[in-house]
């Protein structure tokens, strides 16, 4: 038996793939989807992943900071980049998080970033599966 407890389950219904729409069961998410670089409105899975990973990572940074008695600056920011690649083995992703922690000593910021990268569920999910870099900027 596992001692894992499910805290939340997201339910999202997608129709039309990359040129369709996504809607969550609670109605809080409703958006058009679009192929990256195409004209018009709509987001794409790469942008959604970038937003999800960076938001989750900031939460993990907060947990790491609290455990060390560190106060994160209000202007902390994370810029996420997610690449859609194509090569001999087909499509793949690569991703980077550029973490800005103004006013915090770089060595402390790096420790917090490393701890967050070990505990963030998105970071865990991609570990060893895609090229991923998290860096202090």
pLDDT for res 2: 75
Q: Are residues 52 and 103 in the same domain?
A: yes
pLDDT for res 88: 96
Q: Are residues 33 and 50 in the same domain?
A: no
**Domain around 34:** 1-43
Residue ranges in the chain modelled with pLDDT below 70: 1
- In this prediction the pTM is 0.93
Q: Are residues 9 and 59 in the same domain?
A: no
pLDDT for res 15: 98
Q: Are residues 58 and 17 in the same domain?
A: no
- As a three-state string, the secondary structure of 37-104 is CCCCCCECHHHHHHHHHHHHHHHHHHHHHHHCCCCCCCCCEEEEEEEEEEECCEEEEEEEEEEECCCC
Q: Are residues 66 and 86 in the same domain?
A: yes
Between CA 104 and CA 54 the distance in angstroms is 19
CB atoms within 10 A of CB 99: 23
Q: Are residues 36 and 96 in the same domain?
A: no
pLDDT for res 40: 83
């Amino acid at each position: 038996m596992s001692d894992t407890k499910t805290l939340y389950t997201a339910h999202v219904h997608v129709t039309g793939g990359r040129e369709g729409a996504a809607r969550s069961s609670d109605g809080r998410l409703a958006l058009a989807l679009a192929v990256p670089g195409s004209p018009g409105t709509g987001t794409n899975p790469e942008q959604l992943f970038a937003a999800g990973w960076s938001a989750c990572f900031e939460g993990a940074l907060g947990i790491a900071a609290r455990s060390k008695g560190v106060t994160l600056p209000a202007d902390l920011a994370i810029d996420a980049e997610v690449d859609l690649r194509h090569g001999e083995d087909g499509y793949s992703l690569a991703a980077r998080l550029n973490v800005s922690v103004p006013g915090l000593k770089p060595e402390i910021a790096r420790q917090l970033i490393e701890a967050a990268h070990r505990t963030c569920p998105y970071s865990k999910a991609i570990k060893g599966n895609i090229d991923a870099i998290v860096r202090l900027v």
